[in-house]
Amino acid sequence: MSDLQTTKTDTGSKFINLLIELGFALFSILVALLVGTVFILLAGESPLDAYHALYIGSIGSWREFLNTLWRATPLIFTGFALALPFKAGLFNIGGEGQLLVGGFAAGFVGFYFTGLPSIIHVPLAILAAMAAGAIWGLIPGLLKAYKGAHEVITTIMLNYIAIQLTIRYGIDRFRTGGRQALPTIEESARLVRFVDMAEMPIIGQIPLIDVFALPGLRLHLNFILALISAAVLWYLLFKTTVGYEIRAVGFNSSAAEYGGISSSKTIILSMVIAGALAGLAGAGEALGTHHTFMSGMDADLGFTGIAVALLGRNHPFGIVLAGILFGGLTQGGLEMQFVGIPSEIVTIIQALVIFFVAGLQMLKWFLLKRREKGETE
Amino acid sequence: MSGENNYLLEMRGITKIFPGVKANDNVDLLVKKGEIHALVGENGAGKTTLMKVLYGLYDSDAGEIFYDGEKINMTDPQQAINLGIGMVHQHFKLIDTLTVTENIILGAEPRQGLAINYDRAREQVEEISKKYGLKVDPDAKIQDISVGMQQRVEIIKILYRGADLLIFDEPTAVLTPQEIDELFEIFNSLREQGKTLIFITHKLKEVKTISDRITVLRDGKSVDCVETSSVTEKDVAELMVGREVLFRVEKDKAKPGKEVLQVKNIHVRDNRGLKTVNGISLNVKEGEIYGIAGVEGNGQTELVEALTGLRPVEEGQVFYQGEDITNLSARKLKDRKIGHIPEDRLRRGLVTNFTLSENFILGFHHQSPYSRSIFMDYKEIEEHAKSLIGDFDVRTSSHNNLASKLSGGNQQKVIIAREFIQEPKLLIASQPTRGVDVGSIEFIHKQLINKRDEGTAILLVSAELNEILSLSDRIGVIYEGEIVDTFTAEEADEREIGRLMTGSGKEVKTGE
Ligand SMILES: Nc1ncnc2c1ncn2[C@@H]1O[C@H](COP(=O)(O)OP(=O)(O)OP(=O)(O)O)[C@@H](O)[C@H]1O
Ligand SMILES: [Mg+2]
């Protein structure tokens, strides 16, 4: 055993691994789109036109790109909500429910309290959303830590309870019009939208801020919060004792226990933070996108978040990229419908991407194993 | 180049490079048909790597392999199995919830139409078991049988697949002395039936006892291949290490001080809920080593876990420096400077997916200087790692490597370094030299004696009676969850202790 050059090969192989990850992500999307052509042809449409529309609709223009980011925002958060517990060895399927209770709490605070200044109303609504989401994460966390109840079962059950509680009972209790929604939130509770930034004091002074002044654009502050959350999450995971403990429990809970780390506490904490993050997704939808909490608002964001986390390899920055990709699929899908592709086909293509992302992940593990055989175990 | 001689296996000029490390550097290994060939070398010398190349788990960067006179290009384990090469890994690859028979036939089931023919399977298992004296219970679940029997299951598994060349990577590390004797009987009967064995071990006595020829690796190179009968244990050790090795531990008489650990009549249950510690009392003083001698599985594991906060004490009390620490958490005990070298390094001692740096602070990660409140200081942590790697001679190319990439013995050194450097007042060391090479055993023993002389109280648990005898100032013999007798270093008599360990002394004791 002789020492060769060391640090260089370390960073080198890290970089190569990153490229491989990226390559695989793009490859799985490509395969999904290829398979998608079959369905488009079956529907008697032209794949070329369809994908042209997908491109135009998602990143074909500055405006559409911003819309893609807007669609991506909640997905990034629900992606985080899966990824963090996953690092501790848990599969949090409850993003959907956590998002719903968060959105409901935000929407409720948004319309119920009147006469508050924005500077108080917005944070209050956001905090309420995070707290509600956190509680929805806490419950399965507690059940797992102290009763050993499997988190997949409990979070799925809590999803149903959240739907009943917010969309059925909650909305019915407070709604005023015929719409399946809570009353519209106060203006003071709205999240700033990028369109309005040019007109705001101080922020309006930022050069080029008026590139966002596109009428009808719904991209709002929560996207910035998503980016900040990604950075915070990364720091939390890789630079703090909390992250160290989460990762230790996820890798080897017996060794973690030996190291004085309480698995129960770690499990609960990761679920609480995950719930709060999913709650933030709900807050953004209620306070930024719809200005109310309404039925259908969740739009399976929680479940798509699972695919986002998978594609993003459970890494905070990977999830941001994956979230934007899925945002683009949703946004571009609208354009596809616009040019006459049936909405079912659009849904199929989105499902194909999720399917191949998951499927090719397996293939990648297999191939990496083979490659590493020449190198590592 | 082959054909005339009687080599079953020829590995020539094998080179295997990992990022930053030449694990095998132009290695030759020549194994004759029907022999037991020992492969020895220091931790990280490249033994496991060489065997993984042979078994098709790694591709080599250079070199040729001939099997039965024919050049082969090994691509995967399936090919190795087809050729008749089988490997018993150091860490068994069995499925806990399946039965012995199910594990053996897994992936090679005898079929009757679409269904698995279990009767046929059982017959075959029993046949092999009888032929080589491999005693197993075909219907028991893996989780319920001893480590020794699990190993026999592994052996039957590869024989069932038709292996002629059997590779054993440190098979004795996890066995009790008695199980080792049984394993060697199996080795002999395998040899008699014409099988060829490659045997990796760090225990030179075993090499002398069972092997026909020895290949020695050092720093990734093959330095020699000798007839076992022509060398002594000392010769082999010198070939391995490149210098003379002291087999004896040199130490002065202990100067015990105040009592540090006091265990009062504790009772502990194992995972299955059975009481495996039945009222043990003992005490360890500053500056002494209290050794617990015993055959593995007599409650040592549970005793140690109970003292380190990993298992509840059901009855009785534990005092540390006068404070009642019964059932305190592992974290609280660590914070009180109680060090623990766990018996199972992969399950307890390391997070193998963490880097070395991260492993060097496991259990201390929440303490200064490695972190302040929740913020970790990775610069400090890396410096810490670098200095430990140097001081404890951990063979690795970087502190950023994952612990899983280290050789077994070097993994052990990481744990030793981590616990020693925190200057524990009480050190509970369980099997501290398991899987460690002779040179490192010498080093670790010296370190233990140094710690003792600095005033640390040490509770030593080891399945190696020699280790207990040469290090301990006082010895307690454990049998079926009780300390059946105690000795001072002067009175300790190997034969007497050996007898007590197997329970033959019990009646005498109760009769008193
Ligand atoms: N998968 C891997 N990736 C990188 N380096 C590795 C890998 N496996 C082994 N090494 C390195 O190769 C060298 C040889 O390791 P190997 O496991 O073959 O040693 P060994 O002789 O079996 O030692 P031990 O007696 O401690 O088990 C070591 O320096 C080790 O760190
Ligand atoms: Mg090895």
Backbone angles phi, psi at B110, to 5 degrees: -70, 135
Confidence grade of residue B498 (pLDDT, cut at 50, 70, 90): confident
Distance in angstroms between the alpha carbons of the first and the last residue of chain B: 71
Residue B225, both tokens: 């291949």
Task: Choose the mutation target among A258, A262, A370, A377 for the interface with B, i.e. most B CBs under 10 Å.
Answer: A258
Whole-model pTM?
0.87
Compute, in degrees rounded to 10, the torsion defined by CA atoms B265, B268, B274, B280: -30
What is the Å distance from ligand 2's center to B436 Cα? 10
Interface contact B353-A252, CB threshold 8 A: yes
Residue A209 near residue A198, CB atoms below 8 Å: yes
Residue of A nearest to B345 (CA): A255
Is 80 exceeded by the pLDDT of residue A188? yes
Closest atom of ligand 1 relative to the B409 alpha carbon? 26
Please report the pLDDT score of residue A1 as a whole number. 38
Three-state secondary structure call for residue B217: strand
* Of residues A2, A244, A251, nearest to B376 (C-beta): A244
Interface contact B20-A3, CB threshold 8 A: yes
Residue numbers of B between 187 and 206 with CB closer than 8 Å to A: none
Nearest CA to ligand 1 atom 18: B46
Question: Span B149-178, mean pLDDT?
Answer: 90
Please report the pLDDT score of residue B5 as a whole number. 66
Is 70 exceeded by the pLDDT of residue B362? yes
Angstroms from B162 CA to nearest CA on chain A: 25
Contact B410 CB / ligand 1 (< 6 Å): yes
Three-state secondary structure call for residue A155: helix
Beta strands at B62-67 and B70-72: parallel, antiparallel or unpaired: antiparallel
pLDDT-wise least confident of A61-75, A239-253, B350-364, B497-511:
B497-511
pLDDT in tens, B190-227: 999 999 999 999 999 999 999 999 999 999 999 999 99
In a domain, A355, yes or no: no
Enclosing H/E stretch for A101:
helix A95-112
pLDDT in tens, A72-109: 999 999 999 999 999 999 999 999 999 999 999 999 99
Residue of A nearest to B45 (CA): A1
Q: What is the DSSP string of B84-144?
A: TEEEE-SS----TTSBHHHHHHTTS--EETTEE-HHHHHHHHHHHHHHHT----TTSBGGG
Residue of B nearest to A240 (CA): B375
Instruction: Report ipTM (2 d.p.).
Output: 0.86
In a domain, A213, yes or no: yes
Residue A374, both tokens: 């020449």
Backbone angles phi, psi at B27, to 5 degrees: -90, 135
Interface contact A258-B331, CB threshold 8 A: no
How far apart are the C-alpha atoms of A57 and A332, rounded to whole Å?
4
Per-residue three-class SS string for A254-295: HHHHHCCCCHHHHHHHHHHHHHHHHHHHHHHHHHHHCCCCEC
- List residues in chain A touching B: CB distance below 8 A: 1-7, 9-10, 13, 239-242, 244-245, 247-248, 251-252, 254-262, 373-377
C-alpha distances in Å from residue A164, one per residue of A106, A157, B465: 17, 11, 66
Contact B45 CB / ligand 1 (< 6 Å): yes
Contact B44 CB / ligand 1 (< 6 Å): yes
Q: Which of B267, B307, B264, B277 is nearest to B458 (CA)?
A: B307
Confidence grade of residue A343 (pLDDT, cut at 50, 70, 90): confident
Say which residue, A334 or B358, is predicted with more confidence. B358
Q: Which domain holds residue A97?
A: 72-313
All structural domains of chain B with their residue ranges: 4-241
DSSP state of B319: E
Residue of A nearest to B419 (CA): A259
What is the Å distance from ligand 2's center to A84 Cα? 34
- CA dihedral over A52, A53, A57, A62, signed as positive or negative: positive
Residue B378 contacts A where some CB pair is shorter than 8 Å: yes
- CATH of span B4-241: 3.40.50.300
Contact B405 CB / ligand 1 (< 6 Å): yes
Residue B395 contacts A where some CB pair is shorter than 8 Å: yes
pLDDT in tens, A262-292: 999 999 999 999 999 999 999 999 999 999 9
What is the Å distance from ligand 2's center to B48 Cα? 4
Residue A79 near residue A322, CB atoms below 8 Å: yes
pLDDT-wise least confident of A366-375, B134-143, B459-468:
A366-375
* Of residues A247, A248, A258, nearest to B310 (C-beta): A258
Residue B70 near residue B10, CB atoms below 8 Å: no
Question: Span A160-186, mean pLDDT?
Answer: 91
Confidence grade of residue B115 (pLDDT, cut at 50, 70, 90): confident
How far apart are the C-alpha atoms of B292 and B430, rounded to whole Å?
10
Contact A1 CB / ligand 1 (< 6 Å): yes
* Of residues B57, B376, B395, nearest to A239 (C-beta): B376
How far apart are the C-alpha atoms of B94 and B101, rounded to whole Å?
11
Please report the pLDDT score of residue B398 as a whole number. 92
* Of residues B220, B362, B365, nearest to A255 (C-beta): B362
Contact A2 CB / ligand 1 (< 6 Å): no
Interface contact A254-B363, CB threshold 8 A: no
**Residue A15: count of CB within 10 angstroms of its CB:** 10
Please report the pLDDT score of residue B340 as a whole number. 97
Residue B125 near residue B101, CB atoms below 8 Å: yes
Residue B117, both tokens: 């023919």
Spell out which residues of chain B touch residue A255, defining contact as CB-CB under 8 Å.
Answer: 347-351, 362
Nearest ligand, CA B45: 1
Question: How many structural domains compose chain A?
Answer: 1
Question: Span B403-414, mean pLDDT?
Answer: 91
Contact B413 CB / ligand 1 (< 6 Å): no
Is 70 exceeded by the pLDDT of residue B509? no
In a domain, A375, yes or no: no
Question: Span B434-448, mean pLDDT?
Answer: 89
Q: Is B219 left (phi over 0), alpha (psi -120 to 50) or beta?
A: left
Please report the pLDDT score of residue A348 as a whole number. 87
pLDDT in tens, B32-45: 999 999 999 999 99
Q: Which of B177, B189, B179, B126 is nearest to B148 (CA)?
A: B179
Residue A247, both tokens: 């990762």
pLDDT-wise least confident of A48-62, A347-361, B461-475:
A347-361
Is 90 exceeded by the pLDDT of residue B463? no
Please report the pLDDT score of residue B512 as a whole number. 37
In a domain, A349, yes or no: no
Interface contact A248-B25, CB threshold 8 A: no
Q: What contacts B422, CB < 8 A, 6 or more positions away?
A: B337, B339, B364
Say which residue, A368 or B316, is predicted with more confidence. B316
Beta strands at B323-324 and B315-320: parallel, antiparallel or unpaired: antiparallel
Q: What contacts B203, CB < 8 A, 6 or more positions away?
A: B172
- Please give the mean pLDDT across all residues of chain B: 91
In a domain, A343, yes or no: no
Nearest CA to ligand 1 atom 1: A376
What is the Å distance from ligand 2's center to B133 Cα? 27
Three-state secondary structure call for residue A23: helix
Residue B59 contacts A where some CB pair is shorter than 8 Å: yes
Per-residue three-class SS string for B2-58: CCCCCEEEEEEEEEEEECCEEEEEEEEEEEECCCEEEEEECCCCCHHHHHHHHCCCC
